[in-house]
Amino acid sequence: MGLLSGKKAVIFGVANDKSIAWAIAQAFKRKGAELALTYANETVAKRVRPLAESIGAELVLPCDVRSDAEIKTVFGEIGQAWGGFDILVHSIAFANKEELKGSFLNTTREGFAMALDISAYSLVALVKEAAPLMQGRGGSVLTMTYYGAQKVFPNYNVMGVAKAALEACVRYLAEALGPDGTRINAISAGPLKTLAAAGVGGFNQIAGHVEEKAPLRSNITQEDVAGAALYLCSSLARGVTGDIHFVDSGYNIIGL
C-alpha cells in the first residue's frame, strides 16, 4: 500500500517536465494517488497531455485561473468524475518579465494587479470551489512560495509581494478550512531552474549564492520538493496546517 493509496489529487501548474508540479505529480502517482492535471491554454496543453498520459492521469482539463467561470467548470467536471477528492496542489505564479528586473519602484499598477491575481488570489479562488468536494475527507491543500516573500532578493520585485500575499492567504485559509478537517500548507523552495525562474533577472547568481552559503552547500532538486509535498499531503502531517515549510538546504536560517 502506498502512502497515498486511495487518494485523489488535483494538480494545477504543470507546465513542462521541469515543473515542480510535475515532480509532485510523479511522486504522488508512485505512492498510489489518482491524478487530475490542468493546463492554462492550448500551448501548455501540448506539453501537459503527453506527461499526463505517461503517468496515467485520469483527468486532463483546461483552466485559466483568472476566470472564476473556468474554475467553477473544472471543479464541476472533477465532481462529476470523482464525487470528491483529497489533495489540491497550487503551483501557479506569474508576473510580466518587465516587472522582474531593475527597481521595485518601476512596478506598474497593471503588473502589480496581474501578479497578485494569478500568484495569490488564484489560490483563494481554487480553494473556494474545491472546499465542498474536499469536505470531511481529511484532505490537504498545498501551494508553492519562495523566501523572496520574507526577504528582499534582487529583481524578484512584485513577485516577492505576491508571494507574501500568498503566504498570508495560507494562514487565513488554514483557519477557514480547519473546521471541515482540511489542511493547507506552503512549501518555500530554494531556487530551481524552472520556466517561472527563467523570467527572474540574475537567477543564476542567486542560485550560486545559495549553493555557497546554505548549510548543506547545495541547491535543491524538484524531487526534494516532491518529497516534502508527499509528507505534507499525507496522513503523516495530519497535525500540520498553516505552515510555511522550507525546502532550501537550510538557506533561510543564515544571517550573512
Which of the residues 146, 147, 172, 251 is marked catalytic?
146
Residues 59/78, Cβ–Cβ less than 8 Å: yes
Measured at the CA of 5, the angle between CA 65 and CA 245, to 5 degrees, comes to: 55
Residues 162/190, Cβ–Cβ less than 8 Å: no
Residues 3/29, Cβ–Cβ less than 8 Å: no
Residue type at position 234: S
Which of the residues 39, 147, 156, 251 is marked catalytic?
156
Q: Is 146 a catalytic residue?
A: yes
Q: How many C-alpha atoms does 152 have within 13 Å on its Cβ side? A: 4
40-49 burial, b at 16+ Cβ within 10 Å, e below that, comes to beeebbebbe
Q: Is 172 a catalytic residue?
A: no
Cβ within 8 Å of residue 53, ≥6 positions away? none
Alpha-carbon gap, residue 14 to 19, rounded angstroms: 6
Please give the positions annotated as active site: 146, 156
